[in-house]
Structure 1
């Protein structure tokens, strides 16, 4: 479920003061409503430019993702926007990022954004996984596979983004940028293309066409078919769990996409 939103002006005064100490005087605040997990999501217009703010209460169950984003940022720029500051004050944890002037990726069939997103996947695959605290893919997905041993195929030492919601991909004139790194993970390199496949299906691709969209990626070529089968099954189970607590149209569309891919894998590769 999306976290309840809050405007910058509704933050406690000391939290606002701490942010303004980093940005200098804020001339105007533009609230942003596309974020799913950050109650505070806003653009702060200052004399020097625009800063993107995202924040959570320090007692929020996902506040740890703020520190994860701060820790990983030096390793993933310029693929990701640069972190300008991280402040914790008056019960709030706030990150300030440089603003990317672009649009959210369009994942629909024949979209001109698709090659740029594929380029971002290649760029991410070329980055070494930093020696910082990260979740492990085999642990994150273990509860969603039929046999816990199947999750072993998800282990690896690649840096993964894992959340390929098109709102996390900003398209500029020459490339794609990835935002929202709170769920960055260490795992098998082919998993990010696999995550993207479900989003492509949800945007109107057939399962075969979605797999074709990632076919040229070297990381995907290395994916063991049986491991992909296990991931497709895990993805459907994961989205089924999410839909159980948030049965809105958006979530149900993702669940349908994940189920379609699982069905495609079972029919194409013969597992039951």
Structure 2
């Protein structure tokens, strides 16, 4: 189903416009082969995710494989910054930590291009809506991740969400007397309560667990009983319930009917302070509402569609939580 489908029950896909491997400069492609020790003879371009750069599974003349991401420094600065963040984190996620991350083979800076090279993970992205067996497998992997990542083995990472003062979307919308015509009636009525919940964001999410922070289906690879999390560009520190909350929200955006059940299936989700979770969800909902309104550029219409779905889903989840409360 296309991510811009307007039907309420549509399943939005995380898909963007990427530059194919074959269109990278020849010098960049040759440099990748040199780093891998054998020329690249085949490449399968990957379309999942929202970043703009090249993403490809490559095979070399000697039969070895790798996963390559490449971004042009002449492109948009946001994409380059994300690639720099991912490279910095990936270099520190060493196998000794025992985390479900792909091995990082290093970075290349060639001809104004930044290239990241990883082991190619032999796995597949879950179908959406999620199958129950793959959902259970991923929840078990997230439980193991939380145990291994608390306290964070990367203690100098930023706190999840960044500066608290940037999470004030509902308060700004109210201050601007925004009509909120793009949100559900319930959210318009409850906007002051959402703003009050959002105000506690920084204290609510502060913690010392290493978080992946971006657990959409396209960042989760499943192979047999093994789950690997890719794209750690948004890695941060925070409360242990944040990753399962994000995962629950992403599964709900893509068709699962009950994010609360997914959150509570994780030990940290069951132990979470309900008010803290509400604060995080309120802040996320406001951020999604504002972000979805931004103009679509360089093919970001799928991003905006996904953000609209995230806003609507988060609001519905909060409404259900507050109704039960």
> Which residue matches 2:31?
18
Secondary structure of the residue that 2:66 maps to in structure 1? Answer: strand
> Which residue matches 1:44?
58
Runs of 4+ in 1 over 6 A off after TM superposition: none
CA contact (8 A) 2:155 2:237 kept: no
* Partner Cα separation in structure 1 for residue 276 and residue 237 of structure 2: 16
* Partner Cα separation in structure 2 for residue 141 and residue 115 of structure 1: 33
Distance verdict in 2 for CA 1:263–1:144, change over 3 Å? farther
Specify every segment of 5 or more residues in structure 2 that has no aligned partner in the other structure, as ranges.
1-13, 169-194
Summarize the alignment of residues 173-188 of structure 1 with structure 2, pairs less than 5 Å apart. Answer: 173-188=224-239
* Partner Cα separation in structure 2 for residue 91 and residue 197 of structure 1: 38
Secondary structure of the residue that 1:112 maps to in structure 2? Answer: helix
User: With structure 2 as the length reference, what TM-score do the two structures score?
Assistant: 0.74
* Partner Cα separation in structure 1 for residue 88 and residue 289 of structure 2: 27
> Which residue matches 1:130?
153
Distance verdict in 2 for CA 1:107–1:227, change over 3 Å? farther
Distance verdict in 2 for CA 1:2–1:104, change over 3 Å? closer
Summarize the alignment of residues 218-257 of structure 1 with structure 2, pairs less than 5 Å apart. Answer: 218-245=267-294, 246=296, 248=302, 249-257=305-313
Q: Which of 84, 88, 99 is the aligned partner of 1:64?
A: 84
Larger RCO, structure (CA 8 Å, separation 6 or more): 2
User: With structure 1 as the length reference, what TM-score do the two structures score?
Assistant: 0.87
**Per-residue deviation, 1:116:** 1.0
CA contact (8 A) 2:213 2:243 kept: yes
CA contact (8 A) 2:54 2:70 kept: yes
Q: Can you list the C-alpha shifts for 1:54-109, whole angstroms capped at 9, x where unaligned? A: 12223532232232343332166551111123211111111111112221123536
**Per-residue deviation, 1:163:** 0.5
Secondary structure of the residue that 1:113 maps to in structure 2? Answer: helix
* Partner Cα separation in structure 1 for residue 201 and residue 307 of structure 2: 26
Distance verdict in 2 for CA 1:66–1:200, change over 3 Å? closer
Secondary structure of the residue that 2:58 maps to in structure 1? Answer: strand
Q: Which moved more, 1:91-100 or 1:128-137?
A: 128-137
Secondary structure of the residue that 2:94 maps to in structure 1? Answer: helix
CA contact (8 A) 1:134 1:186 kept: yes
CA contact (8 A) 1:107 1:114 kept: no
User: How many residues matched?
Assistant: 267
> Which residue matches 1:120?
141
Summarize the alignment of residues 52-91 of structure 1 with structure 2, pairs less than 5 Å apart. Answer: 52-58=67-73, 60-61=77-78, 62=81, 63-74=83-94, 79-91=100-112
Please tell me the root mean square deviation across aligned C-alpha atoms, in Å: 2.4
Secondary structure of the residue that 2:272 maps to in structure 1? Answer: coil
Distance verdict in 2 for CA 1:93–1:109, change over 3 Å? closer
> Which residue matches 1:143?
166
